[in-house]
Structure 1
Amino acid sequence: MEMETYLRFALALVFVLGLIVVAAWFMRRFGYGGAAASRPGRERRLGIVEVAQIDARRKLVLVRRDGVEHLVLLGMNADLVLESGIRPAAEAGGTVP
């Protein structure tokens, strides 16, 4: 084989790997499954307020639904609601350190 063939192969490989990296970045940046289309003019009822990584397998997620927050522990095998009915910090009048 000639050197040109090896060069074409290497450039094609770099291009494909670059496309994979860009696709992974978009998926990570904008969410894995994509956002569900919301109706214009309507306020969203459900949202993730904050996520804290506990370790490689567990994370804490603060979810807001209809103005009420819920603290959920997500793990490999089970999910657990730790606290429910939390008032958001802005309504509670407290400041977050």
Structure 2
Amino acid sequence: MPIVEFIRAVAALGVTLGLIGLAAYALRRFGPDALTRMVHARQVRRLRVVESLALDPTRRLVIFSLDGEERLMLLGEGKLLDWGPKAAAPAPVTTPAPLPAVSAPEPVV
């Protein structure tokens, strides 16, 4: 019966090593920062780059959205060169309503 005990010990060792490998894979895949990643993925981002344009090798224009308002920045040489003021939305062009037609007064006889 010693051969059955040997096979049982080898099988137990295999199961144990398999569980350790499975735990290592799960830790690598889901890791201690997995919960943090899930929480940050659900957060609403306040700042978003809308568009970026390279003017030359040292300067760049960036339009970004902050809390739903778009702003313009000029970046260059490792510093903020200019902060564009908040752009006001253009006022809609409205045409005045036509005046009601006024008929000429009746001649008095």
Query: What TM-score bracket applies, with the shorter chain setting the length?
Result: 0.3 to 0.5
TM-score (norm 2): 0.40
Q: Which has the higher contact order (CA 8 A, sep 6+)?
A: 1
TM-score (norm 1): 0.44
